[in-house]
Structure formats: structure tokens, C-alpha cells
Amino acid sequence: MIVVRGRVLVVGDSIRLISKAKSADVDVVYMQKPSQFDPALIPHCQQLVLVDYQHVPSAVAMATALHRIAPITRIVTQTEAAQLVAGHLTDALGIAGTSERCARLLHDKSAMRALLNEQGIGAVPYAVNPTQADLREFVVTHGAAIVKPTKGSGSLGVRRVESVEDVDEVWAWSQSFELGEFQVEKLLTGPELSVESFSVSGRHTIVAVTAKDTEGGTVELGHVIPAPLAEEDLDRIHELTVRLLDAVGLEDGPAHTEIILTAEGPRVVESHTRRGGDRINDLVRMVYGVDMEEAAYRLVGHGAPLDGHLHPAQGAAAIRFLTAAPGVVTAVTGLEAARAVDGVVEVSVSVDVGSVVPELRWSDDRSGHVIVRADDAGTAVRLAREVARQVVITTEPVTGGPGPDAAGADTLSSILRPYDEVFDPFHTPVTAP
């Protein structure tokens, strides 16, 4: 019997992600923006093309040509900026995988909210592109609220509106920040969680539930797996996640669904057609044995992607992110002591002396992390916090502020510019079908 190797088009991922294709014995065709290309990737690829994949006509033309030369089996990407394009290319090539409709319904938060509300899947009041008067009326009617871009990730451009007294300030910020298309939703309160799942032919396996910590803000500062929840709550969270994934039509691959367990029951915050970021995949692998990044490649192989990998929880794992006061870094201390603590898996700092630390606006403004293992979730969280406190990043204020936009205050586009990224490469409003 002749076994045909799968041929996977990978869009926008890093060398760490692409190197995992080797375990699935597939050929990698790699599409990346020239500004983000790492030459170290070359040995991992059968073919590579450098093109701005968020320029959709160019991406379609290139993918079509590659598919004509040798058929592409599936498109894989764990990069948020590539999700919409990957769905569009999947439809354009007529191959199996996540459709553009599914990718849009999850990438566009207003489309997802409309669909869930229409189908009665944990309805949440919301409004898209409100005027200042509309925003005020929404808060009067529904109480505290969240303002966020309709498309985006990493908590960029997310602000809380605690009361009517905050409306004018948040509105002024949305204009100066050039937020663009945004929505306001009723503020959901309760434990913050995410569900890590993997789907095959429309059947959804809940791999893990993650507990999150934002310390009352909007940027995630810690995660632990498994989430310490009662079985009844886990059952309700599992049910809600499956209903969401069925509603959007997810057939195959990983998904990361953020949920808040409110007094009225679990409610979806957002969801993604990729594995969770923030090293959640590593926590899942340590506790449950599943590497969802590798499993995505095994979809084009033979046999079930999770078979022989998923096992019952073995202990717990947690990550705690490091932050620093805005300013210029003058010292980083405590690394060796932190790494020597029993149970520590990894300690990483992403800033050096001389680096400029901005205000904590989104996930990429964090300054590093610690990862630990322990016997249970509570112990893991405490250990991660203790180890994180040992790493001290000292800064001095910068006169005029550390913002990256030399022309003035930060805007959404100025923060994204170094990443060569836009939230929606199609630039068209989306409504749920």
C-alpha cells in the first residue's frame, strides 16, 4: 500500500510551531510576510513563499498556484492575524479545513455575539459602533460594560466602563486611540476561564479548562490547568463550548474559547480557531499529554490526532507573567534564584537593560513569565506567584513617556505597526448569517 504524504500550507507561524510538523510526517509549504521571515525556517520547509498574506489577492494567487503544482491537503495556522485568510484560502482551494464563515464568526466578535444571541446560546447584551450617547444609554440600561474592537486579540484596545461617570473618558480614549469598529457589551463578572478543545469531523473533544487571572484588569496575568471547578460547572462549560463550536460550524482542529462563569451561568467572551496563546498549549501538554500544535498537523496524517496522546490530568501547571513599571529597564535581578526553585519549569524575561517598558496595554507589553508544575492547581498558582516575585525588573521613568509612536499618543495602528499586522485584511463589516 502506497501512503501519500500530506502537503500542508502553513501561514504565518514561527519556527517553533513549524518544526512540529515533522512528527506528523507531512510536507510544509510556508507562506510568510517578508518582514516576519526567519531564515532558520528553511530546513523545515519543502517550499516557501514570501508574500504579505494579509493582502488577500496576493495570498489567493500564490496559494492557487502552489495547489496547482502539487495539491495542498490542508491549511494550518496558529497565528491570529492569519485566521481569516486561512479560512478564505481553504474555501478558494476547495479543501478540507476551517471555512471562512467559521473563521469570521469567531474572529469577528460582533458576528459571534449576534449568532449566539439569535440561537439563545448564553445571550449577552451588546451594541456595535455606538455613539457617545448610545454608549451612555447602554451603561444606564445594563450597568458596567466592556468596550473592545470587533476584531482583535491580546486584550489590545479593551477598556472597562465601570459606571456612567466613566463614559466620557472612555469615549474620548476610543477616539484618540483610533479604535475603529468596536462594540460595547455588558460586563460579565465571575471566574475567567478558557476551554481548550480539538475537533475532528465535527466532533469536539474538550481537552482542558484553564483558569485565568487578570487581577481585575483586562490583560491576562496568569493561567493554571486544570481549572479548580466543581463537576457541575465543568459540565455546563463543556456543554456551552460544544454548542458554540457546532453553531459556528467548526469541523477540525484546535479551538480556544474564553468563558466567564457568571451567576446566571457560563457565558462566552470570545473564541478562536487556533490553540490558546500565552503558552497554554505547553500547560495542556504537561498536564494532559496533548500537544494541540502537533495534533493540527496530524489531521492530514492517518489515524485520529488525539489517539495515544490524551490522558487524565497528571498534576497541575501554571504560568505567571512578569510586569514592570513603565520606563527604561535599569536592572533585572533574581533570575538564578527563581530558576533554582523546586517545581519551576521555565523562567524567561523578554526585556534587557536599556529596553523601554510601556504601560500595560495588551499581552505583548508583559515583560516575561514563569512556568511551574505542582500536585494541584492551588499549589501551582501559589508557587508561580512566589517565583514571579523573585524576578525584579527595575525601571526609571522616561521623560515624555515611553510610547512607541514618536508622533504622539499611542493609537491602535501605531501599536500594531511593528508587527506588520491589521485586524481585518478584508476591511468589510461582517454580520452573522
Phi, psi of 404 (to 5 degrees): -75, -15
pTM of the model: 0.92
Which is more confident, 427 or 332? Answer: 332
Which is more confident, 177 or 432? Answer: 177
Q: Decide if pLDDT at 190 tops 80.
A: yes
pLDDT-derived band at 172 (thresholds 50, 70, 90) equals very high
CATH 1.25.40.10 at 315-417, yes or no = no
pLDDT mean over 347-353: 97
pLDDT at 287: 98
pLDDT at 402: 44
Say if residues 15 and 41 touch (Cβ distance below 8 Å): yes
Tell me the HSE value of 5 on the side-chain side, using a 13 A CA sphere: 13
| Superfamily covering domain 125-186 | ATP-grasp fold, A domain (3.30.1490.20)
pLDDT mean over 18-27: 90
Whether the CA torsion 77, 81, 82, 88 is positive or negative: it is positive
Q: Decide if pLDDT at 316 tops 70.
A: yes
pLDDT at 405: 40
b/e 310-337 (16+ beta carbons within 10 angstroms → b):
beeeebbbbbbbbbbebbbbeebebbee
Rg of the chain over CA atoms, in angstroms? 22
Say if residues 18 and 55 touch (Cβ distance below 8 Å): no
Strands (E) across 281-404 are located at 316-322, 327-333, 344-349, 356-357, 368-374, 392-396
pLDDT at 4: 62
pLDDT mean over 397-425: 74
Domain coordinates in residue numbering, the chain: 7-97, 125-186, 189-311, 315-417
* Fold match flag (7-97 vs 315-417): no
CATH 3.30.10.20 at 189-311, yes or no = no
- In the CATH scheme, what is the code of domain 7-97? 3.40.50.20
pLDDT at 400: 58
pLDDT at 433: 39
pLDDT at 419: 86
pLDDT-derived band at 410 (thresholds 50, 70, 90) equals confident
